[in-house]
Amino acid sequence: MNKAVEIQSPGVTLSVDPDWWRGAVIYQIYPRSYQDSNGDGIGDLLGIVDRLPYIASLGVDAIWISPFFTSPMLDFGYDVSDYCDVDPMFGVLADFDAVIETAHSLGVRVMIDLVLSHTSEKHAWFQESKSDRTNDKADWYVWADPKPDGTPPNNWLSIFGGPAWHWNGRREQYYLHNFLVEQPDLNLHSPAVQEELLNVGRFWLDRGVDGFRLDTINFYFADKELRDNPPLPVEDRNASIAPSVNPYNHQLHLYSKNQPENLDFLQKFRAMMDEYPAIASVGEVGDAQLGLELLGEYTAGDTMMQMCYAFEFLAPVKLTAARVQEVMTKVDAVAADGWACWAFSNHDVVRHASRWSLSTEAQRGLCTLLMTLRGSACIYQGEELGLSEADVAFEDLQDPYGVEFWPEFKGRDGCRTPMVWNAETANGGFTNGTPWLPVSQDHLPNSVAEQEKRDDGLIHHYRKAIALRRNTACLAKGDMVDLTVSGDVLSFVRVYGEDQIFVAVNMSDTPGSIQMPNGTWTQLGTELNSAGWADDGSVELGPWQPCIALKSV
């Protein structure tokens, strides 16, 4: 599809480029923590509706809403018990329709988080599947007989700790759970399961969503033979997917995920999306060793997913000019025909302001970098405020991951605390009740209301950087060439048709310098503190300062 189409919502017509996703800026909402509309201390869909004008003011192309489906909430919505309904804590389906209508009226698209690799144990499918070995859904989950000694069928481990298998006495078999025991893995080798999941996608597309964020996209299939995973050499281990204290890092997950059958299913999923106009998906690739290679496979050509993101820029390792060059060079090698979606923070990792110990100046520089890299971009709620990781006491923890590995790993609650809107109102304006997680007192000085008052508020920089990207097709959609590192300065050229844009970012707290490429250039991004250059083409860059320039034809 190459023509613009019109997306219809109740009373709304939204003109959409079918390639809107290419270079898009997507704002992630963790609904429990965004805005509470009814005083129960938990964010909800009507709270999102109330805050959509703010989101639109940032200039983003779309929102991604983390799961709001019916769920026992043991993993906060990522344990789904009904894919086609809203959990009462978030509202009702009519509230979701209001999100769609309001977002579209403001020119913002809506993507939702689909969790297709596993369900809750409370899901009706699993309740039937576990009842015996002969029911209609007996093969809808990954079941396996024990070894002769009664132990699990293989050595696979759960991301949340311990074996990835749990015994069911009624079937006298183990079921696979790559995450919590209460999150059994679906068996996508079953055609019936695949079709039902495609129908789930159609259900939400029929309600007007513009696309999906696909959770753990590389976990959809497990090896049919259930072969043991090999050990991972110590030198190859990293903590980008699981904390270092987790034995999950001791295996190369060769058979428990990343299976070749996934490619066929993703093509089916893309074909289902193509039944509707201007739909896009971004897949989460959870793999510490093969993330970029899988990104390349899953986004290649026009029959797979539009975008995927790996964890290279979500990992603890410090983001330096050399690191960015390393990652982007590898993308060129293994995913040249694909499309990445980059993020520095999300609901599963320590906020990058804390993870990399960033000053406000550094956060401005990285925001500029994110909006000039080839690929699309996700920003996580509160990132535009410069929020740090909150310190959540053990007695206030909600995340089972943190409870399991405390204190070496404190879980994910520190990046999930409520959004702060106004320092002068109760709980930062998030709720009139008792918030499900404490509002960080350290966050209040950086609330939306406080930053709006300040000319130097980080929020204003995000708006300007997003606007430059949206208004400059070369930055949104162009190729990237001439990727160079000089000291702490990263530079590259974006190319789109006849347009060329030079970008350099000093990724350090000390001054740096670089030489402009040959040619005649016009300075861009002065509102982002973009540096000029001397007559000899030399550029002096302050700490975290960019230089952005358009080449004259």
| Residue 114 exposure: Cα atoms within 13 Å on the Cβ side | 27
- Which helix (H) or strand (E) segment holds residue 464: the answer is helix 458-470
d(CA 56, CA 61): 8
Question: Is the CB of residue 530 less than 8 Å from the CB of residue 516?
Answer: no
Instruction: Locate the DSSP E strands across 428-498.
Output: 479-486, 489-496
Could you tell me the two tokens for 457?
A: 């508020």
Could you tell me the two tokens for 478?
A: 């162009």
Q: Which one is catalytic: 136, 236, 275, 527?
A: 275
- Which helix (H) or strand (E) segment holds residue 281: the answer is strand 280-284
Q: Which one is catalytic: 215, 284, 287, 389?
A: 215
At 324, which amino acid appears?
A: V
- Classify residue 398 by its DSSP letter: -
Sequence-ordered alpha helix ranges (H) in 300-426: 321-334, 352-355, 360-370, 400-405
d(CA 56, CA 276): 24
Could you tell me the two tokens for 186?
A: 């679906």
Q: What is the CA radius of gyration of the chain?
A: 23
Return all residues near 34 (Cβ < 8 A) that are at least 6 apart: 43, 47, 48, 51, 381, 418, 419, 430
| Cis peptide bond upstream of 231, omega within 30 | no
Query: Hunting for tokens 């509309």 — which residue is that?
Result: 37
- Which helix (H) or strand (E) segment holds residue 291: the answer is helix 291-299
Mapping DSSP to helix (H, G, I), strand (E, B) and coil, where does residue 400 land? helix
d(CA 23, CA 318): 24
**Residue 215 annotated in active site:** yes
- Classify residue 109 by its DSSP letter: E
Question: Is the CB of residue 267 less than 8 Å from the CB of residue 305?
Answer: no
Query: Hunting for tokens 């009624």 — which residue is that?
Result: 170
Active site residues per annotation:
215, 275
